[in-house]
Structure 1
Amino acid sequence: MAQQPTRNLEHEHQPVRIRERIQAGDGGHLGDAMLGAIDGAITSFAVVAGAVGGGFGSLVIVILGFASLLADGFSMAVSNYLGTKSDAESADRAHREERRHIEEIPQGQREELRQIFADKGFSGETLECMVDAIAGDPDLWAKTVVQEELGLHPGANASPLHAGGATFLAFLIAGLIPLLPFVVPMLSPQVAFGISIGATSIAFLAIGMIKGRVLEQPMLRSGLETLLIGGGAAALAYGVGALLRAWIGAGLA
């Protein structure tokens, strides 16, 4: 049984596969989608729970839910788009600045490069060979300094538009789950809420388990953690809605 994982690992470390992973950059936007799905389910379920706790009917719940779903999803997608775009612009700006420094003060930049690799444990002839090799390519030289000093990655493959799109799509799909039972005309708000709780709990558990699988963490623990976070947010929203309903109702009585 242990041979199959070993064969898979060997396959993933063939030269062609290694090159494909490097050229793919971060491997896509799974992280953006996961974040969007979790936030979408939590946000939508909290709105539903708060509205039910406040005693609103299905029509109001659907209106509030869909308005919140689209507005919050768009806001989160735009924030992710701008954040990804800002990171890319910062990396490229830092890269240009380092290129200018290399042209103006090459010896100082060369010493900077030397100290970067000396801090990693290289010394003597090996260190000097590495510095010579990298300093022979000004573009690589600047990119190396930016990555090592600032943790930025000039020329990264991350697309701000794709990052925002993945977040928005996942937000909408997961956020629809708590709302769909209230669209069914023959269901009372209470029955629809019960179905919504069950469906959303399964969604929370599934999203968390997928996240655990991707991060190579215990899947069940990750699923339960996501379920508890989402359930806690919904319980808080329901309690606030019920409290406000009782308080305002008492004041109007």
Structure 2
Amino acid sequence: MTSVGGPAAVGTDHRHEPHERGFHGRLNWLRAGVLGANDGIVSTAGLVVGVAGATTNRTPILIAGVAGLVAGAMSMAVGEYVSVSTQRDSEEALLALERHELRTMPEEELEELTQLYVAKGLSRGLAERVAHELTEHDALAAHAETELGIDPDELTNPWHAALASFVAFTVGALLPLFAIVLPPALWRVPITFVAVLLALVVTGVVSARLGGSGPHRAVWRNVLGGAIAMAVTYGIGSAIGVTV
């Protein structure tokens, strides 16, 4: 907990520490956006390169690419909506239970909050004072954050999550789609390969930075996975195109 109890009591300057809930929320949104864009790049690239392996006609490639973009973006949005809605339902149920306990057994809940602060390293006296002051200020917020790790004022909105996933996937998918349909037939696949791999380098670096790790492994995983996906689908498309 970042408020009254620990840091302020010992005089520690924590203004520059990135542990506020809002910071982590924004970081998670950014990471999810990068991953959504990465999915859009790889899945759409694999689809259009596979079709391009079977035919040089631009129309079926464009149709397949657009269909893949729309289907993938909708799938991402629906999946994110269902996932976040389930999480939010669970959080609201926990908060409802906490409200009931605070209303029906306030003394027991106060002691529970005190024990939680004692477990965090505060002395019994300081823990009691912190628990009392936070309970007087906002009992539900104090218990929700310390007990459940939930901020009642910042529950994730499933509609926002769905829209973010839809937009991220769409933006990522547009790159291979444009790369495959704009150049002449001879250069479509090579240009798409290069454009996709460069984009995967960027998403790999960004995701690594957001996660606080070195970029090399993330970049190689991204590039290798994307290259294999496009090579496999191109090979399958070429084989099907020859047999048909």
Same fold, judged at TM 0.5 (above): yes
Q: 1:141 aligns with which of 132, 135, 139?
A: 139
1:138-171 Cα distance to aligned partner (Å, 9 max, x none): xx33333333444333221644333322222221
1:27-54 Cα distance to aligned partner (Å, 9 max, x none): 3732232121111001101112332344
1:159-218 Cα distance to aligned partner (Å, 9 max, x none): 43333222222211211111213323x711x52011100111111111111222333322
TM-score between both structures, scaled by the size of structure 2:
0.78
How far apart in 2 are the matches of 1:151 and 1:234? 42
Corresponding residue of 1:33: 33
Q: Which amino acid aligns with 2:47?
A: V
1:38-91 Cα distance to aligned partner (Å, 9 max, x none): 110011011123323445743222211110111111220232233334333432
Q: Pairwise mapping of residues 142-157 of structure 1 onto structure 2 (< 5 A)?
A: 142-156=140-154
Unaligned 5+ residue runs, structure 2?
1-13
Corresponding residue of 1:206: 202
Q: Which amino acid aligns with 1:187?
A: P
Corresponding residue of 1:63: 63
How far apart in 1 are the matches of 2:112 and 2:235? 58
Q: 1:218 aligns with which of 203, 211, 214?
A: 214
SS at match of 2:99: helix
Corresponding residue of 1:82: 82
SS at match of 2:120: coil
Corresponding residue of 2:92: 92
SS at match of 2:190: helix
SS at match of 2:176: coil
Q: How many equivalent pairs are there?
A: 229
How far apart in 2 are the matches of 1:198 and 1:149? 49
Q: 1:230 aligns with which of 226, 232, 236?
A: 226
Change beyond 3 A, Cα 1:23–1:192: closer
Corresponding residue of 1:47: 47
Identity over aligned pairs, percent: 26
Deviation at 1:102, TM superposition (A): 1.1
Please tell me the root mean square deviation across aligned C-alpha atoms, in Å: 3.0
Deviation at 1:236, TM superposition (A): 3.4
TM-score between both structures, scaled by the size of structure 1:
0.76
